[in-house]
Amino acid sequence: MSARRRILTLAVVGVAAVLVGVGLFRPAGRSIAAGGTGPRLGQAAPLFESTDLTGQPVALADFRGRPVLMNFWASWCGPCRMAAPHVVQTARDLAGRAVVLKVDTERFPGLASQYNVRSIPNFAVFSRGQLQFQQAGLVDAITMESWLTRAA
């Protein structure tokens, strides 16, 4: 194989890996929660308790009545860092109408496992105590806001 053809092949494989990694390529109609041991869509969400950045206790049950976006992320994850400003914008735009939580998968691996998180960033939307939607991959604030609006 010529050097040029080898480089082109590597570039195509690299682009495909990026598309899979950011969630732009996956079987249609599938969500991360559709298989495995995590909660299924429409089922009651497993409850959790943790602390916020100020050390105050936080529980998923505290937010019943408002849609919740849970962002699973890690500091070493490039797409997670790219999603961060969009997550902040979503929280700011929907303040008082929805809740946005960030879950560090390195600090809370058990919680990530409980929600069947296999790749990050991973976004789970809850409403009325049930998992409504879950998707891995980089998305913008407009997409996140539309998820929460539909879940309200």
> Distance between CA atoms of 105 and 9, rounded to whole angstroms?
33
Q: Is 33 a catalytic residue?
A: no
Helices (H), the chain: 3-21, 78-93, 109-114, 141-151
Q: Is 117 a catalytic residue?
A: no
> Distance between CA atoms of 136 and 36, rounded to whole angstroms?
14
CA-angle at 35, arms to 43 and 62, nearest 5°: 35
> Distance between CA atoms of 100 and 73, rounded to whole angstroms?
13
Please pick, among 45, 77, 83, 99, the residue that the annotation labels catalytic. Answer: 77
Please pick, among 69, 80, 91, 117, the residue that the annotation labels catalytic. Answer: 80
- So which residues are the catalytic ones? 77, 80
